[in-house]
Amino acid sequence: MTRPLALALLFLGCGPAAAPRAPDPIAVGDPSEPELTREMDEASTEGPALPALERSLAPQHDQIYELARHGRHLFLGAQGGASVIDVPTGQRVAAYDEFICNAAVVVANEFWTGCDKHVLRWSPQRGWREYLANDENDADYYDLLVDPQGQLLVAYGSQQWRYDAGTDTFESTPSTFGGSYHAVFHEGELWSIDFMNGIRHGSSLIPVSSPVYPVRDPRRLSIDSQGRLYAEDFGAGIFRWDGQRFLQVHGITAKGTGVAYDAARNRAWLLHYTEGLTVTIDDQVVKTIDLSDLTYMRRMLLESDGSVWVAGWPGLVRIRWDGGDPVREDIL
């Protein structure tokens, strides 16, 4: 994935341009869209209980870009690498030192993440493995996408590969999303962000500042639990595709970095990059939750019990809200 001005913005702390994604973000469920908005079953304890990680980690491991969830584990992609939280205990049980791991998906019960120098795979049974080692010093990072057939695709700049589980190797394929700022499959079709130019749907470009996309800074695409497509716009908030155009979601008007819909409770969660969470019911704001102490919030993930994980820079919290005062659990 190409990150225009990525390193400069990263160290200046200006916006999330250094690490938007993943695919979408990014969780299990619908294999065509393993996004952070995919609801997970908290009660699941699939996988072995692992001992707590004994070694200390650099603080950059708490500067989180990406979340994915499967079984009893929560996977973190961060500035300093990747790590795994055992949800029932809240303890870190695995970690790998890397640089800017900002894509994460689950495929065949294993976590995958794309970083600066490698693609990494982790499972409690097989541990860590590196793929596609890269020595380039540029503003590209490995991006991950799961296609509608459930196959893992990896892009680096204009290059693309497909994972072959039978040989445990990657095969070069023609590029379909390489070079895009972020990409998802929605209803079987590829959607991607052409940074500062617009949103691509197949071969067509929806320009920014147009009647179809009225604002100008989409950074990420996501799918909610009802299969609806959203654009998270850093300049103007959250926009939902209605089949003809992107319409603004009421609740936040700038720095949108996350959206999730809790169908069981008929409420939407919206994430603001520096302020925190807004909860809406039928497009009306019913609660705001200040999380500004997390500084920069790039990702959130909804659980089936209605709670929400929020990834900060640094920090990781879990928020529960049932109408009274929010309950906050600080994990990192």
* Domains of the chain, earliest start first: 6-330 (2.130.10.10)
Over residues 210-219, the pLDDT tens digits come to 999 999 999 9
Q: Report residue 227 as tokens.
A: 């299969």
First to last CA, the chain: 28
Over residues 55-112, the pLDDT tens digits come to 999 999 999 999 999 999 999 999 999 999 999 999 999 999 999 999 999 999 999 9
Q: Helix, strand or coil for residue 325?
A: coil
Residue 43 — pLDDT band, cuts 50, 70, 90? very low
Over residues 2-42, the pLDDT tens digits come to 443 343 333 334 444 433 333 333 232 233 333 333 334 44
Q: What pTM, to 2 d.p., does this model score? A: 0.88
Over residues 234-267, the pLDDT tens digits come to 999 999 999 999 999 999 999 999 999 999 999 9
Number of continuous H segments (helices) and E segments (strands) in the chain: 1, 28
Q: Helix, strand or coil for residue 289?
A: strand
Residue 44 — pLDDT band, cuts 50, 70, 90? low
Instruction: Output the pLDDT for position 45.
Output: 63
More confident residue, 48 or 270: 270
Residue 137 — pLDDT band, cuts 50, 70, 90? confident
Residue 136 — pLDDT band, cuts 50, 70, 90? confident
Residues 6+ apart with CB under 8 A from 12: none
Instruction: Output the pLDDT for position 202.
Output: 83
Angstrom distance (rounded) from CA 257 to CA 102: 14
Mean pLDDT of the chain: 88
Q: In what order do the strands lie in the sheet with 91-97?
A: 64-70, 73-78, 81-86, 91-97
Residues 6+ apart with CB under 8 A from 144: 22, 23, 103, 104, 105, 112, 113, 114, 119, 152, 153, 154
Residue 1 — pLDDT band, cuts 50, 70, 90? low
Confirm if 213 and 246 have CB atoms less than 8 A apart: yes
More confident residue, 154 or 39: 154
Instruction: Output the pLDDT for position 105.
Output: 98
- % of the chain exceeding 90 in pLDDT: 82
Over residues 259-273, the pLDDT tens digits come to 999 999 999 999 999
